[in-house]
Amino acid sequence: MTTDVDLETALLSEDFVRDPYPVLDQLRNDQPVYWSEGIGAWLLTRYDDIVWTFKTVPGFSNEGRLGRAADHVTGPEAAQLDAFRRHYATKGLLHSDPPDHTRLRRAVLPFFSPRTIEGLRPRVSAIVDNLIDDALSKGGMNAIDDLAFALPVSVLANMLGVPASEGALFRRWADDLLAFQGVNKPAAQLLLTAQESLVAARSYIAALISGKRRDTSQDDIVSVLLRAGSNVSDEEIINTCVTLLVAGHETTTSLIGNGLYLMLSRPEVFAALRADEALVTGTVEEILRFESPVARQTRVLTEDTSLRDTTMHAGDVVIQMLHSANRDPAQFPNPALFDITRRPNRHIAFGQGIHFCVGAPLSRLEGDIVFRSLLRRAPRMRLLDTSPDWDVTKPNSRVLNSLSVAFG
């Protein structure tokens, strides 16, 4: 394994999180299977290679993948990360391979069926209307806090059967748990902070399980999993619900925030959408491709594997650079162009294969409702920020810190 010093510096920089595409283009062209010593993983950047790895299960495994981030920690701090390791050693929806993954996915699928998701439309629309009412009364908003985050966290709270006021707590836990992901050699302090949030989140969910067990007739996801009986353990429910706390709002926050920035920073796009609301469906897909909410996905090799004349060994960590795959010119003509009429648009923002994101239909529904509602109710909305304020603390996420917009 050899690494390029300048490339390593770039990969670990905040500038790479802000604008990763020049470096990704370089990797995709010159070193599509690249060992990064600083990240501690193989980086895959070509669309076809990443699709192949999504389909090659369990060769590219989900089990224990995030726990590997603590492997490099030594000394006293290593002994302080037992709770972190135990959690990520437990199987859950996103931390398992078949047959466990099949069993767990089957248990939650009724909650994410097309019929169930479509049934959420009136509730999601009502939440969006209330949030827009409030923003219009003020003449503007921070679109991230006031809409892009506020909507999915309200929906997440409903999914878990808890008050929407818990949203601030969920956001803090999610931020801490995302800060170490996407870099397989994170600072020990990031892992210790993540562990504190893990312990708190696990305790919260355990108490939720205890309360729901007395009456599992409700439609929230904890009750659905409890009704699966001995087929799903409490530990697996906790692990899966922690994943929901992280992924249940972050992806949609990114989709909505990135989408608004892309629309409003391109007046011709916003004008086209105002003229033809039917373009919203394709726009959502192009947002997901152009600024993929989840930038990186981690896998662990279970056997020696050769790819493009490079041998990767069992136990190595592999990171699928989704934002690179979704701008691969071999798959997407003129990939640096934000084209809301792009057809076909076979992006992999939600993954592919057996681990395709179960929450994708919900995220798409929320984005669709938000954009259509704003086009109708705030057609003169305009962007106040001159440049995007990317969050550089979470390299695994392509998400904005803030986005100031005005109405009228």
Q: Tell me what the pLDDT averaged over the chain comes to.
A: 94
Q: How confident is the model at residue 114 (pLDDT cuts 50, 70, 90)?
A: confident
Q: What is the pLDDT of residue 3?
A: 58
Q: In what order do the strands lie in the sheet with 60-61?
A: 33-36, 41-44, 317-321, 296-301, 60-61
Q: What is the largest CA-CA distance in the chain?
A: 62
Q: What is the pLDDT of residue 201?
A: 94
Distance of CA 142 to the CA centre of its chain: 21
Q: What is the token pair recorded at 253?
A: 């926050």
Q: Find tokens 């790895």 and name the residue.
A: 53
pLDDT cut 70: percent of the chain above it: 99
Q: Confirm if 371 and 309 have CB atoms less than 8 A apart.
A: no
Q: Confirm if 344 and 100 have CB atoms less than 8 A apart.
A: no
Q: What is the pLDDT of residue 110?
A: 85
CA distance linking residue 119 with residue 392, whole number of Å:
36
Residue 372 one-letter amino acid? R
119 Cβ contact list (under 8 Å, min separation 6): none
pLDDT(245) > 90: no
Q: What is the pLDDT of residue 38?
A: 93
Q: Tens of pLDDT along 375-392?
A: 999 999 999 988 999 999
pLDDT(1) > 60: no
Q: Tens of pLDDT along 40-84?
A: 999 999 999 999 999 999 999 999 999 999 999 998 899 999 999
Q: What is the token pair recorded at 342?
A: 């792009």
Q: Confirm if 290 and 338 have CB atoms less than 8 A apart.
A: yes
Over residues 241-245, mean pLDDT: 89
Q: What is the pLDDT of residue 408?
A: 79
Q: What is the pLDDT of residue 238?
A: 93
CA distance linking residue 4 with residue 214, whole number of Å:
58
Over residues 279-295, mean pLDDT: 98
Q: Which of 407, 405, 380 is nearest to 259 (CA)?
A: 405
Q: What is the pLDDT of residue 229?
A: 76
258 Cβ contact list (under 8 Å, min separation 6): 287, 290, 291, 293, 398, 399, 400
Length of the chain: 408
Q: What is the pLDDT of residue 227?
A: 85
Q: What is the pLDDT of residue 216?
A: 78
Residue 299, φ and ψ in degrees, nearest 5: -135, 160
pLDDT(21) > 90: yes
Of residues 107 and 46, the one with the higher pLDDT is 46
Domains of the chain and any CATH numbers: 5-406 (1.10.630.10)
Q: What is the pLDDT of residue 214?
A: 86
Rounded to 5°, the CA angle 21-58-99 comes to 125
CA distance linking residue 378 with residue 407, whole number of Å:
6
pLDDT(168) > 80: yes
Q: What is the pLDDT of residue 228?
A: 79
pLDDT(4) > 90: no
Q: Tens of pLDDT along 171-221?
A: 999 999 999 999 889 999 999 999 999 999 999 999 999 998 888 788 888
CA distance linking residue 310 with residue 346, whole number of Å:
27
Q: What is the pLDDT of residue 159?
A: 87
Q: Which of 37, 28, 19 is nearest to 324 (CA)?
A: 28
Q: What is the pLDDT of residue 215?
A: 83
Question: What end-to-end distance do the CA atoms of the chain give, in Å?
Answer: 56
